[in-house]
Amino acid sequence: MDTDLTRPAISVIMPVYNCAAFVGDAVESILNQTFVDFELIIIDDCSSDNTLAIISGYNDKRIKLIRKSANSGYIVSLNIGIMAAAGEFLARMDGDDISHPERLEKQQNFLNANPDLLLCGTWYELLSSGEVVENPVHNDDIKIALLEYCALGHPTVMFRKSCLTANKLVYNQDFYPAEDYELWTRMILLGKIANIPESLLFYRTHQNQVSFKDQSLQINNSNLCRSRMICYPLTDLTPTDIQLSQVVAKNIYPRNHQYLVEIIAWLNKLAYVNESAAFYDKIKFYGYVEKKKRVFARAFYLHNTSYNVTVMRDFYRTANSFKKYFSIKERFKFALKCIIGLKTN
């Protein structure tokens, strides 16, 4: 292969910070790829261990080491890598994971064969257990999955730099440590994404990872991503739309029957609007809405209410809407609890 390393086909972006125990394996897994026309951009965030010494020990012109003058965090490193990248395709890599030898080759071939795709991830294997994480493969399925969780393994992705450049896309620091999730929620407005149904990365879990250290913040910012995505079929958002999208994203269970009815009505509106907007696959989105309605109805009537005759009356007044979410046995027990509650009070 005739390669021009001044302008490689792929730029691999790898931020590192104090990962001396693992960074050698990570670097070598990229240097030993079957596809060789790449640059490996390593951005060091002022490591205080032997990370820099290990990286400096590799004599390979494809490595471009950027040493930050101050510790400014992982997201700044990612954006520095994007700005420095010369490749047509950008591949993510972390300093504690291991890429399959054919990862870059297979992902580039996949994107070249599917020019309508902006991004592709892959399945990945957990080094701790050998379990393979099989995220949804096709665009419509990934969009629905993103309404509930981040359905792309961040260190597995490869995307077109032209998409980021044309749309001035970078990682958003306000969404740390769900910055990848937030970026995907913007990219799906611009085109299609996919996952290759093959494990092409070995993912390491340990206590120093961001997902362990800042878990509550990650949950909160992930919920913000979900609430944004829930509203995509809508135009001219109202304060009520925004508020209810957050309720649905966070599964905040209704405090009374009237609020439950309001949530159900809003979910029905979403499904109806999506029928014409068609942002999500109509059948798949209807399934998502029905799942949410079931969760809220069951949470209120089985776990989140005082059992009395008023609650029973409200339930059976809207039984046509709610009864399909409960078995006959559950409906009988619910009525019995309400009667007992009435007698108790």
Q: Please, are residues 297 and 264 in contact by the beta-carbon 8 Å criterion?
A: yes
> What pLDDT is recorded for position 1?
36
Same domain? For 54 and 98 the reply is yes
Q: Percentage of residues in the chain with pLDDT exceeding 70?
A: 95
| Minimum mean pLDDT range among 36-40, 185-189, 315-319, 328-332 | 315-319
Q: Percentage of residues in the chain with pLDDT exceeding 90?
A: 81
Q: With bands split at pLDDT 50, 70 and 90, how would you rate the model's confidence at 344?
A: very low
Say if 139 falls within a structural domain.
Answer: yes
Say if 224 falls within a structural domain.
Answer: no
* CA–CA gap between residue 203 and residue 22 (Å, rounded): 11
Q: Tens digit of pLDDT for each residue in 195-212?
A: 999 999 999 997 666 666
**Would you say residue 183 has pLDDT above 60?**
yes
Say if 332 falls within a structural domain.
Answer: yes
Query: Among residues 159, 187, 218, which one ends one of the domains?
Result: 218
Say if 74 falls within a structural domain.
Answer: yes
| b/e 138-171 (16+ beta carbons within 10 angstroms → b) | ebebbbbbbbeebbbbbbbbbbbbebbeeeebbb
Same domain? For 211 and 249 the reply is no
Same domain? For 260 and 329 the reply is yes
Q: With bands split at pLDDT 50, 70 and 90, how would you rate the model's confidence at 310?
A: confident
User: Residue 102 is part of a domain; what is its CATH number?
Assistant: 3.90.550.10
Burial of 278 (0-12, 13-18, 19+ CB in 10 A): exposed
> What pLDDT is recorded for position 319?
64
Q: For 122-128, what is the mean pLDDT?
A: 97
Average pLDDT, the chain: 93
Residue 286 belongs to domain spanning: 232-344
Same domain? For 22 and 127 the reply is yes
Query: Among residues 218, 240, 264, which one ends one of the domains?
Result: 218
Say if 314 falls within a structural domain.
Answer: yes
Which residues lie across from 192 on neighbouring strands?
117
| Minimum mean pLDDT range among 37-41, 133-137, 161-165, 320-324 | 320-324
Same domain? For 324 and 200 the reply is no
> What pLDDT is recorded for position 209?
66
Burial of 126 (0-12, 13-18, 19+ CB in 10 A): middle
Q: Please, are residues 342 and 311 in contact by the beta-carbon 8 Å criterion?
A: no
Q: For 322-329, what is the mean pLDDT?
A: 89
**130 closest CA partner among 223, 221, 187, 205:** 205
**Would you say residue 342 has pLDDT above 60?**
no
Same domain? For 183 and 272 the reply is no
Q: Please, are residues 194 and 137 in contact by the beta-carbon 8 Å criterion?
A: yes
Same domain? For 25 and 150 the reply is yes
| Minimum mean pLDDT range among 118-132, 289-303, 314-328 | 314-328
Q: Tens digit of pLDDT for each residue in 225-236?
A: 999 999 999 999
Higher pLDDT, 322 or 67: 67
| Cα angle: 55, vertex 99, 179; to 5 degrees | 85
> What pLDDT is recorded for position 107?
98
Q: How many CB atoms lie within 10 A of CB 344?
A: 8
Q: For 284-308, what is the mean pLDDT?
A: 90
* CA–CA gap between residue 271 and residue 285 (Å, rounded): 7
Give every CB contact of residue 238 below 8 A, 6+ residues apart in sequence. none
Same domain? For 179 and 268 the reply is no
Same domain? For 40 and 151 the reply is yes
Same domain? For 258 and 325 the reply is yes
| Minimum mean pLDDT range among 142-156, 231-245, 256-270, 329-343 | 329-343
* CA–CA gap between residue 289 and residue 268 (Å, rounded): 7
* CA–CA gap between residue 196 and residue 99 (Å, rounded): 14
Say if 2 falls within a structural domain.
Answer: no
Say if 270 falls within a structural domain.
Answer: yes
Same domain? For 203 and 240 the reply is no
| Minimum mean pLDDT range among 122-131, 179-188, 255-264 | 255-264
Same domain? For 214 and 237 the reply is no
Say if 339 falls within a structural domain.
Answer: yes
Cis peptide bond upstream of 136, omega within 30: no
Containing 185, the helix (H) or strand (E) segment is helix 179-187
> What pLDDT is recorded for position 345?
40
> What pLDDT is recorded for position 343?
46
Q: With bands split at pLDDT 50, 70 and 90, how would you rate the model's confidence at 102?
A: very high
Which position has the token pair 């306000």?
174
